[in-house]
Structure 1
């Protein structure tokens, strides 16, 4: 992304052996594809956050929120890039304590993943999934008060603070799963946004215990397995035929940056 571009022009190419993949801003026109994806059991059974069933109203509310965040993120990133161009040394961090001497992105960042295809009518950018980063929700902490305390402490930290714990979330529509797309997308997002512009030193990835594919994605990207917390999350009864109280374990992986890196 070049300095001064609009949020609608944001585009990060993702290296892939056989497919042309890019990360872009959310688009209102993605609505139907998002709704189909999040109502597919191969997707929603591996996710905790989105409502289920996922409706047009859910999508509209989410898009309103995330498009506003995108404009803010893009403006902040442009300001950071302009500062770095004006003073190249401004982007360099000499010691861990120097982080407070420059601006950082400090909030939620999400990017749709698109497959670019050529057709007789031109180029088609097909929505195939989503990847994002936000301050950690501590999904695996069972005690509600402890979870809220940890989250509040983490949320209070100033943007760029190396003590912030970040969390990755992602999903792909089923026909694109298992094709090496998500590890490439995660590595690219880490390299382009999360590390250089959020100053991330700790990034957490979680997965439901049955979703070993997500664990493999994190491990391919340098995350280390920490623990599996049994019965950590109650499954939405609507996803499992109305059965109440069924729980699932959560695996936790962590990426930590050595400052020497």
Structure 2
């Protein structure tokens, strides 16, 4: 997968930001690192992660999602992406994650540039070391599994990776997330991270998310009833989850 750069003199003014572009029919979708100084990105996160069509199906973001949450998330995510990109620039054979996590739609191309233009943030995807959601929440067993996974060296085929994502409801039903997941697995996670074991989880009832993963070769491993602890801010109680897995060749 080629990594493109917004030109320094582009009217998009992204300061040679690296990005990757999805293949047809989604060539208007690009993936970039977070942009710490773009207020539109922070506004998008606040709006989207307070939307019940989104936060209802997510476990980790706080609710209500405040501007300070968005600022902290963008800052930390960008620092992690910069760390990975440094390893890419250094010519490392394998890297410890994916730096292209903000999903953007190019909505206007500059007349004097080759395919660059104005874009809007429409979602987020992360590929990080797996949190072992199938183990009891808060248990020593889960903590130890996370620590063992974290201790494995970069590039190890034994690392278990996890995918998390969300998309703006305005872009549901277009096959975008299916294409994003496929592109990142085939063109980044496998060749650049040496990823072989990838997992995902979804609340029972999140049919669309399950379909995205199944279309990309994930298989249902188990369904855990009344498993995930729901924060009191979201109503409390527990939710059942599906755990899906993919073993790459």
Q: Same fold (TM over 0.5)?
A: yes
Distance in 2 between residues matched to 1:39 and 1:22, nearest whole Å = 24
> Does residue 115 in structure 1 map to residue 105 in structure 2?
yes
Unaligned runs of 5+ in 2: 9-14
CA contact (8 A) 1:69 1:108 kept: no
> Does residue 176 in structure 1 map to residue 171 in structure 2?
yes
Tell me how far 1:233 sits from its aligned partner. Answer: 0.7
Aligned counterpart, 2:89: 78
> Does residue 128 in structure 1 map to residue 118 in structure 2?
no
> Does residue 42 in structure 1 map to residue 53 in structure 2?
yes
Unaligned runs of 5+ in 1: 81-101
Distance in 2 between residues matched to 1:130 and 1:221, nearest whole Å = 18
Task: Determine which of 54, 59, 79 is the counterpart of 2:70.
Answer: 59
Distance in 1 between residues matched to 2:3 and 2:163, nearest whole Å = 24
Aligned counterpart, 2:11: none
Aligned counterpart, 1:211: 206
TM-score normalised per structure 2: 0.86
Distance in 2 between residues matched to 1:222 and 1:158, nearest whole Å = 26
CA gap 1:109/1:119 in 2 versus in 1, 3 angstroms: closer
Aligned counterpart, 2:18: 10
After alignment, is 231-240 or 48-57 more displaced? 231-240
CA contact (8 A) 2:97 2:189 kept: no
CA gap 1:123/1:106 in 2 versus in 1, 3 angstroms: closer
Aligned counterpart, 2:240: 249
CA gap 1:251/1:57 in 2 versus in 1, 3 angstroms: same
> Does residue 198 in structure 1 map to residue 198 in structure 2?
no
What is the total number of aligned residue pairs between the two structures? 233
- Structure in which a larger fraction of residues adopt helix: 1
Distance in 1 between residues matched to 2:19 and 2:187, nearest whole Å = 11
Task: Determine which of 210, 232, 237 is the counterpart of 1:237.
Answer: 232
CA contact (8 A) 2:20 2:100 kept: no
Distance in 1 between residues matched to 2:3 and 2:110, nearest whole Å = 30
CA contact (8 A) 2:19 2:100 kept: no
Distance in 2 between residues matched to 1:120 and 1:10, nearest whole Å = 17
CA gap 1:4/1:47 in 2 versus in 1, 3 angstroms: closer
Tell me how far 1:103 sits from its aligned partner. Answer: 3.6
Deviations 1:135-159 (A, max 9, x none): 0001221251111111111111000
TM-score normalised per structure 1: 0.82
